[in-house]
Every structure is written in C-alpha cells, then in structure tokens.
Amino acid sequence: DTAVSQTPKYLVTQMGNDKSIKCEQNLGHDTMYWYKQDSKKFLKIMFSYNNKELIINETVPNRFSPKSPDKAHLNLHINSLELGDSAVYFCASRDRTYEQYFGPGTRLTVT
Amino acid sequence: GESVGLHLPTLSVQEGDNSIINCAYSNSASDYFIWYKQESGKGPQFIIDIRSNMDKRQGQRVTVLLNKTVKHLSLQIAATQPGDSAVYFCAERKGGGSQGNLIFGKGTKLSVKP
C-alpha cells in the first residue's frame, strides 16, 4: 500500500543521455513536487504541480521537464544528462495540509 | 539562499539518553514548521509539526519547541533508541502566497550508540 512510489529506484546512465523518472501517489492529493537531494543531503525543491498545473519552477535548467498526465502522476524527464545531475530525486505530494509525503527516492548516477 | 539552517551537522548520543536537534530559521513570516526523519536509503518521513501560534507540541517521545523571538526550532527525542538513527530535517513554510511549499534545512545526522 505504497502512498508515493517512484521508478526506477536506481538509474545509472551516461552523459548526454535522456532519462525519465516516474512518480505516482495514491493518496488523492492535489499537489505534487520534485526535489533534488545532493551528496550533502540538502533537499531542494525543483517543481511544484497543483492539479496538473505547474506552480513552481525553482531555477531548474530547462533540460528538466516535468509532466503530469493526471493528478496522481508527476514524471520527470531529463534531457542531455550532465555529471552534476547525479543526485537522489524525491517525489512528494500533499493535500490541503502542509505535510508532504515523500517517495522512496531515485538515485541517479551520471557517468 | 535557504533561510533554514542547523547548529549541529552531526549528533552522537548514547542509547536511552535524550537528544536535542536544533534548527535556526531566518524568515519571521514563516507560519508553519515541520520535522522530518530520513533513514538511510529512504525518503523523508514526517515526525511532528508546529504552527507559529504555538511554542511547544508533543508527540510520542518527541517534542518540538518553537522560539519565535530568536527564530529557533528544536526537536527533542526522549529515551533515544537505535532506530532513531537517521538524518533529521527541519523545514519551514513561508506565510502569504507561498502556498504549501517547504524550505528545508541542511539536516543533522543523529547516531545512537548502543
């Protein structure tokens, strides 16, 4: 009964490739997020979607393109991957409260 | 830049002792604060939250204290157990039109010695 799920859990790829990470939440929440966690554990918000509409894009390169086909899904597509994109990416969702529910994370390694 | 930070990046405590994890924030307009626990290889999990109209809130073995005068937040864990070993994050929500977006602090790693 996973609330927020992400696939894949691990992703190893070469520079220049294009990859996608999928996120699904079964909580019925209206708002979903993507975060990037660097090697020092710092969590930084990337995108925020509310009812399939982009609310926030926090100075993220346009190589990153989120797509929300419906309220329960928020996928992250990354073009032309760079070494600096290596990180753990977390999807999260929230309802009308401010508590956010996080997925298990996707560890992206760019070689 | 981020407005939430931590005094101690690492904390090591003996099993059974109480732990105190501190967090400083700089945005006086923030109206909601939350603590998350992140175990190795997992996503952050909610521990406890507090609104700015409160100065203390208790949960099961955890207490959050908010001092708005000095913009300080702390998480107290009673009778710390090995299962409490994790990275702890504080986060704030700015008031006004920021909706529900949270700004996370840098995290404190708690290690519990058996």
Kindly report, residue by residue over B17-31, the tens digit of the pLDDT. Answer: 999 999 998 788 898
Indicate the number of domains in chain A.
1
Q: Which residues of A touch B43 (CB under 8 A)?
A: 4, 90, 92, 102-105
Whether the predicted pLDDT of B3 surpasses 60: no
A71 Cα to chain B: minimum distance (Å): 17
The 3-state secondary structure of chain A, one letter per residue? CCCEEEECCEEEECCCCCEEEEEEECCCCCEEEEEEECCCCCEEEEEEEECCEEEEECCCCCCEEEEEEECCEEEEEECCCCHHHCEEEEEEEECCCCCEEECCCEEEEEC
For a pLDDT cut of 70, what percent of chain B falls above it?
88
Give me the architecture of the B4-113 domain, per CATH: Sandwich (2.60)
Average pLDDT, chain B: 89
Query: What CATH number does residue A85 fall under?
Result: 2.60.40.10
Q: For position A97, what pLDDT does the model report? A: 79
Q: Model confidence over A58-83: pLDDT tens digits? A: 778 999 999 999 999 999 999 999 99
Residue A98's domain spans which residues?
4-110
Q: Which residues of B touch A44 (CB under 8 A)?
A: 104
A96 Cα to chain B: minimum distance (Å): 8
A64 touches chain B (CB under 8 A): no
